[in-house]
Amino acid sequence: MKRAWRLWPQTLVSRLLLILLLGLLLANGLTLGLLLLERAQSAKAMMLGNLEYDVATSVAILDRLPAIERPAWIPRLDRVNYHYLLQQGRSGDYPTGKRLRDTARSLKAALGDRYHLKVNAIPGDQGRLQAHMRLSDGSPLTLDLVPRTMPFATWLPIVLVIQLVLLLGCTWFAVRNAVRPLVALTRAAESLNPDTSAAVRMAESGPVEVRNAAKAFNAMQDRIAAYLKERMQILAAISHDLQTPITRIKLRSELMEENDIKAKLLQDLEEMTHLVREGVAYARTSESSSEKPCRIQPHAFIDSLVCDYQDTGQPVTLAGKLPGSVLTKPHALRRSLCNLIDNALKFSGSAEVVVGQAAGNIIIQVLDRGPGIPPAELYAVLQPFYRVESSRNRMTGGTGLGLAIAQQLVASLDGSLALANRDGGGLAVTITLTDMTV
């Protein structure tokens, strides 16, 4: 059962093509079979009818001729598949083949009542028979006959092949037109982008059902974009508006006497300020799509970024080589790399940037030897405001927005971001930039 399921086509195009083609072939095969059967029966009835008439006429002519004139008439009465003998002929058993028996019955129906016909097959030749009779004067007469098969047109196989090709072509065309809107919908769903400027919209053309589905998908995409934009605006507004009261609280705290409570209060305010700034930064990542792409040299660009960290005394290294130039959004790329490097420095104290190419794509890895992330949380940490439990302390707690911001920025570059724990401890963040001209 499982093996038969594996043989069944897995794509919708193949299944529809197979079902329609088999249905059409079965219907046409049944129609052709019935037509050939009716044609065979008609041809058989016509041939046997002509045989009865011709043989009956020929025997009547020979019966009325004087015995001395009969040999001269024999060649005139012979046909392609039978001829007459003015002798007893060969004896044998009654025919066993269906075609020979039908011919024998037809001959008996035409001559048996008058000439006492006796029919037998020729020993050693099952496709041939002889009909023995005696004329009115007692002379023997034998009809030696090989039944003719139904004629078969030589052009019929060519017509059948052409019909099969037409069926296959029409079936493929019908299935292709039926499945093409579904393929377009699948591609549009895979490339669904809340950013309306970069979204792939479905063409609202074709049959009514396809147009309605395209309109519904485009409207859904617009609604999603509107909802996300609204929420980003709310987040940006709240984060921005919180900066003013936080600043006032800081100023008032400075007027307090120096003690532990003041220090803790200022520390909390500093964390709140950092959280607000990160919230504004996350809300503004959607604006990175409006940045115009420009051509840069990727290796020189990343090397300058790493050198900036090294100039400040940070242990950041670069390995690998990226030749040529690329067309990308440099500010978005720089912000995403800075977020990842800062994250690595925060949790491990050092960072290693490794660059390279694979299958035409640019690969950028940011590696560290920190505590890593539990496998069950590798996806969750990419969500906004999510923090691993082990990092919830005052030194490395963060806001839970660093990786989320980096992922959004990489997505705006038509790339992907993946996390993986390294052997021996640490985290590897891989950025894959696709469809970039190198």
Residue keyed to tokens 């021996």: 424
**pLDDT of 385:** 66
- Asked if residue 167 has pLDDT above 70, the reply is yes
Sheet with 82-85, side-by-side order of all strands? 82-85, 140-145, 125-134, 118-122
Is the model's pLDDT at 8 over the cut of 70?
no
More reliable by pLDDT, 172 or 238 = 172
Query: Worst-scoring range by mean pLDDT, 28-37, 132-141, 280-289?
Result: 280-289
What pLDDT does 152 receive?
66
Longest dimension (CA), the chain: 157
Comparing 122-126, 200-204, 284-288, which segment has the lowest mean pLDDT? 284-288
Instruction: Report all structural domains of the chain as residue ranges with CATH numbers, in order of start.
Output: 12-145 (3.30.450.300), 157-233 (no CATH), 291-433 (3.30.565.10)
pLDDT at residue number 316: 92
CB-CB contact of 314 with 345 (8 Å): yes
Does residue 20 have a pLDDT over 70?
Answer: yes
pLDDT at 55 over 80: yes
CA–CA distance, 58 with 86 (Å, rounded to integer): 13
What pLDDT does residue 150 have? 66
Asked whether the CA dihedral 291, 361, 407, 394 is positive or negative, the reply is negative
Tell me, what's the pLDDT at 430? Answer: 92
Q: Which residues contact 65 (CB under 8 A, 6 or more apart)?
A: 73
Greater confidence, 235 or 319? 319
Asked if pLDDT for residue 181 goes beyond 50, the answer is yes
pLDDT tens digit string along 370-413? 888 888 888 778 777 666 655 444 445 555 667 877 888 888 78
Q: What is the pLDDT of residue 400?
A: 63
Per-residue pLDDT, averaged over 8-17, amounts to 73
319, β-bridge pairs: 354
Task: From 268, 329, 342, select the one nearest 301 (Cα to Cα).
Answer: 329
**Cβ atoms of residues 367 and 333 within 8 Å:** no
Residues 383-422 as b or e (16 or more Cβ within 10 Å = b): ebeebbeebeeeeeebbbbbbbbbbbbbbbbebebebeee
Within 86-190, strands assigned E span 118-122, 125-134, 140-145
Compare 285 and 23 and report the one with higher pLDDT: 23
- Tell me the one-letter amino acid at 290: S
- Is the pLDDT at 353 greater than 90? The verdict is yes
Query: Worst-scoring range by mean pLDDT, 10-14, 149-153, 323-327, 379-383?
Result: 149-153
| Residue the block writes with tokens 């011919």 | 103
Mean pLDDT on 55-83: 87
Mean pLDDT of 135-163: 80
Higher local confidence (pLDDT), 145 or 44: 145
* Average pLDDT, integer, range 138-145: 87
Q: Is the pLDDT of residue 218 over 80?
A: yes
Mean per-residue pLDDT of the chain: 79
**Under 8 Å CB-to-CB from 416, ≥6 apart: which residues?**
410, 431, 432, 434
Q: Which amino acid is at 289?
A: S
Per-residue pLDDT averaged across 221-234, rounded? 76
96-100, 184-188, 199-203, range with the lowest pLDDT: 199-203
Residue 111, token pair as written in the block: 């001559």
Query: Worst-scoring range by mean pLDDT, 2-16, 42-56, 285-299?
Result: 2-16
* Residue 170: predicted pLDDT: 83
**How far is residue 118's CA from residue 215's CA, in Å, rounded to a whole number?**
84
Predicted confidence at residue 256, as pLDDT, reads 77
